[in-house]
Amino acid sequence: MSTTTTTTSAQTPAPVRTYRSYARPLWMRSLMTHEAAVIALLIAVFAWANGNVANFDGPLTLYYLFLDTAPILLIALPMTLVIVTGEIDLSVASIVGVSAALTGVFHVDAGLSLPVAATLAVGVGIVAGALNGFLVAYVGLPSLAVTIGTLALFRGIAVGLLGDSSITDFPDKWTDLAKERLVEESAYPMILLPIAVLAVVFVLLLHFTGFGRGIYEIGLNDEAARFTGVNVERTKFMLFVLSGAVSAFAGVYYALRYGSVRGDSAYGLELQVIAAVLLGGVSIFGGRGALHGVLAGVLLIGVISSAMRLEGETVNKINIVIGVLLVLSVISTSFLSWASGLRSGRRWPWASRSRPDRAARQPQS
């Protein structure tokens, strides 16, 4: 069937059609998206803060912004992939906690060299991710329940390792490295290097491989993905392992960045990560989203918090602004899909949610 001629047909042989690749021009496809809106907002807020917030354009603001958002930037990468499949990993902050604690225990208490301690900590993160992945992908439990459980489990381990004490005596050599700048006097800390490398790896993985296409297909319809030959179980398992590994790496960074670890290190970080991912335009139902939007989302939250802190606002006010932004973002996602659905005659997505025919089609796993 490698030829196109129809030998048997007595009817007029229809010419082979050709198609345009895209219905809309490039600028519409790239600019009229949620991701572009988040990036534009990031640029706008950044420019505004630069001009209007005292000390925002100082040398330290950007530097600390990157230092502080580094763990979120890191974990948001695998989290995006996990959420695109329609799953979620709530245990990431607890894995950060375990990894940070282990880095302290192995390096400071047991006297192992830091590279060894860090490798061990990341190894434990991989095991933790594998546990999540096994329970979700192969046992078939819902990831929300599984990772709420392991969130408590891993946090318990972290607290159990350190008790009420904290480990603070990390050698300066390593804590300085975590805060090292790429170039002398620049605003860019060294941690941006591994972040950039991982960001490239994850962008390629999600957007430029068959594995990544499978991730979207699983999120849109895992049954159809299975019928297409996508290994749904293995894909999900791998993503949870990646999530564990990157979270553990973030934990090592966390320990060195603050030079101090406690059982409750990075407590609650998972919600910041998920908020940033959703702000970046990833659908919590899976199947939609892109990494450039997520990275912009993380930085947008970072810039807003940083600017407001410089203005002397309290954490509560910052949280209110970010919360409102997140809600607006979710509404606008629904609004956009409603607007683009106008042509095909659909109604408001939330209006139709109460209809049984839609309810019956909700994801079933």
Partner 1 sequence: MSARTEAGAASPTLELRDVAKSFGAVAALRSGTLEVSPGSIHALVGENGAGKSTLVKIVAGVHRRDAGTFRLLGTDVDFGSTAESKAAGVAVIYQEPTLFPDLSVAENIFMGRHPLRAGRRIDRPQMYAESEALFSRLGVHIDPRRPARGLSIADQQIIEIAKAISLDAALLVMDEPTAALSGVEVDRLFAVARSLRDEGRALVFISHRFDEVFALCDMVTVMRDGQYVSTDAVAETSVEQIVARMVGREVAELFPKVPAEVGDVVLEVEGLNRAGVFHDVSFQVRAGEIVALAGLVGAGRSEIARAVFGVDRYDAGRVALAGRPLPQRRPRAAIAAGMAFVPEDRRQQGLVIEGTIARNVASVIRTRLDRFGLLTARAENKAAGPWAGRLEVKTSALDMRAATMSGGNQQKVVLAKWLATEPKLLIIDEPTRGIDVGTKAEVHRLLSDLAGRGLAILMISSELPEVLGMADRVLVVHEGRIAAELDRDQATPESVMHAATGSVTPLSQEVTA
Nearest to 265 by CA among 155, 132, 118: 155
Residue type, 62: L
Two structure tokens written together for 91: 């245990």
In terms of C-beta density within 10 A (0-12 exposed, 13-18 middle, 19 or more buried), how is residue 113 classed? exposed
Nearest to 128 by CA among 106, 115, 110, 147: 147
- The distance of closest approach from Cβ of residue 26 to partner 1 in the complex, given in angstroms and rounded to an integer, is 12
> Is 19 or 316 the residue whose CB approaches partner 1 more closely?
19
- The distance of closest approach from Cβ of residue 357 to partner 1 in the complex, given in angstroms and rounded to an integer, is 4
- The distance of closest approach from Cβ of residue 207 to partner 1 in the complex, given in angstroms and rounded to an integer, is 9
Q: What is the DSSP string of 49-101?
A: HHHHSTTTTSHHHHHHHHHHHHHHHHHHHHHHHHHHTT---TTHHHHHHHHHH
- The distance of closest approach from Cβ of residue 24 to partner 1 in the complex, given in angstroms and rounded to an integer, is 8
CA separation for the pair 150, 247 (Å, rounded): 14
SS3 for 150? helix
> Is 161 or 225 the residue whose CB approaches partner 1 more closely?
225
Phi and psi, residue 189, nearest 5°? -75, 160
DSSP H or E run through 165: none
> Is 111 or 356 the residue whose CB approaches partner 1 more closely?
356
- The distance of closest approach from Cβ of residue 208 to partner 1 in the complex, given in angstroms and rounded to an integer, is 5
With both helix axes pointing from N to C terminus, report the angle between 269-279 and 315-341 in degrees, rounded to the nearest 10. 30
- The distance of closest approach from Cβ of residue 35 to partner 1 in the complex, given in angstroms and rounded to an integer, is 15
- The distance of closest approach from Cβ of residue 63 to partner 1 in the complex, given in angstroms and rounded to an integer, is 34
> Is 316 or 354 the residue whose CB approaches partner 1 more closely?
354
Nearest to 95 by CA among 200, 204, 245: 245
> Is 17 or 173 the residue whose CB approaches partner 1 more closely?
17
> Is 10 or 183 the residue whose CB approaches partner 1 more closely?
10
> Is 163 or 210 the residue whose CB approaches partner 1 more closely?
210
> Is 87 or 233 the residue whose CB approaches partner 1 more closely?
233
Q: What is the 3-state secondary structure (H, E, C) of 211-229?
A: HHHHHHHHHHHHHHHHHCC
- The distance of closest approach from Cβ of residue 199 to partner 1 in the complex, given in angstroms and rounded to an integer, is 16
- The distance of closest approach from Cβ of residue 261 to partner 1 in the complex, given in angstroms and rounded to an integer, is 38
CA separation for the pair 195, 122 (Å, rounded): 16
> Is 219 or 302 the residue whose CB approaches partner 1 more closely?
219
Residue 189 pairs in a beta bridge with 181
Binding site for partner 1 (CB under 8 A): 1-2, 4, 6-9, 14, 16-23, 204, 208-210, 212-213, 216-217, 220-221, 223-229, 231, 287, 342-345, 355-357, 359-360, 364
| Integer CA distances (angstroms), 351 to 104, 204, 324, 338, 343, in order | 52, 37, 22, 10, 17
